[in-house]
Amino acid sequence: MLAKRGGCKMILRKLKKSLVLQKYDAIIPRLRLNFPHLQEIEREQALRLKGYKGEKAVEYHLDFLAVDATILHDVCLTVMGKQFQIDNIVVTSHGIFPVESKNYSGTITFDTVLKQLIRENGMKETGYDYPVTQAELQKFKLQMWLQERNLQNIQIHPLVAISDPGTIIKVKGEKCEIAKAVAHGAHIPGMVIQKNNDYKEKHAKISAEKIGRAILKECKEFDMDVMANHGIKATDILPGVQCPACGRLGMKRGYGKWACERCFTLSKNAHLKAIADYLLLIKPWINNKEAMRFLNINCKSLANRILKSSGLSYEKEFKRWAKK
């Protein structure tokens, strides 16, 4: 989680694939092809994967600021009992810069009068929530969070990063209003540096690392019940060990290896993903009986050996295994 750059400041929280996207990735191969909501689930997974790739592109540019700033990616905090998410937070010597990542393709138009974003891809126009309003709302929530912890009088300047450099940005209305808050990802570090320099002339210095660590301490991993949202029951999740080569469920256990009957791939550790899927989707623990069913094996001692070697912690009281 902790990565230093330049020996001066640091990246306190790196970006990784979200729990929600991990759940979609695990669910789709384990649903039968005629599952009623499969196409809807695949569309949602594709949207979230596109968003994640956009966040990775923006992360690349922001991380160059780590020499002079403290950076956190994929932040989830709680204010007034409600969670809120910020894609990236850059804390500099004189301000905090929440940066929202947006992965739009084609041409996007910011309508500053109607507060709407319109995307055109050559075939149709689609309206979206106004990113600038979203960013301002995140600023307000972050301000409240800081005030609750007596971290006051800190300048907060929200920014919106367009991750795809090929996206054409247009403005209908006040161009200066958008230019202050929106840019392609590669230009965001320069905007942060410029604004921080402006703040130096008028505002007191802040402890970037102290604020960053306060955020990190209370940062949670955002989660949601993906299965319930799509009407998926535990019994809808197909068991089996998935082939790492062709993706087919149902690898057979041989002498110390798993074998795929479709492409004949052999794997020593293919069961690890199956167990991870179970813990992610079904329950946060697994016992021998459940492992035998989910891995399609009929030997208790084999199931026990597999669970013992899977990096899990044994809960003796309940006779089950869970993540450490």
Number of independent structural domains in the chain: 2
Residues 201 and 252 in one domain: no
List, for residues 112-160, the tens digit of each pLDDT value.
Answer: 999 999 999 888 899 999 999 999 999 999 999 999 999 999 999 999 9
Per the structure block, which two tokens stand in for 191? 């905007």
309 with 181, same domain: the answer is: no
Q: Is the pLDDT of residue 1 over 60?
A: no
Residue-range definition of the domain harbouring residue 83: 3-218
Distance from C-alpha of 65 to C-alpha of 6, rounded to nearest angstrom: 10
Interval 241-261: pLDDT, tens: 999 999 999 999 998 999 999
Do 173 and 110 meet the contact criterion of CB atoms below 8 Å apart? Answer: yes
In angstroms, rounded to a whole number, what is the distance separating the alpha carbons of residues 204 and 289? 61
Q: Are residues 31 and 121 in the same domain?
A: yes
Residue 231 lies in a domain: no
**Token pair in block for residue 83:** 């969670």
> How far, rounded to the nearest angstrom, does the alpha carbon of residue 280 sit from its chain's CA centroid?
15
- CA dist 182 and 160 (Å) reads 5
Same domain, yes or no: 91 and 12: yes
Residue 136 lies in a domain: yes
Mean per-residue pLDDT over the chain, rounded: 95
The answer to whether residue 229 sits within a structural domain is no
The domain boundary residue, chosen from 186, 218, 250: 218
E strand spans, the chain: 3-5, 9-13, 70-79, 82-91, 96-102, 107-111, 116-120, 125-128, 159-162, 168-172, 182-184, 252-253, 258-259, 266-267, 285-286, 312-315, 320-323
> What tokens were used for 29?
């191969």
Percent above pLDDT 90 for the chain: 94
- Domain CATH number, residue 30: 3.40.1350.10
Task: Give the C-alpha separation, 60 to 184, whole Å.
Answer: 12
On whether both 213 and 263 belong to a single domain, the answer is: no
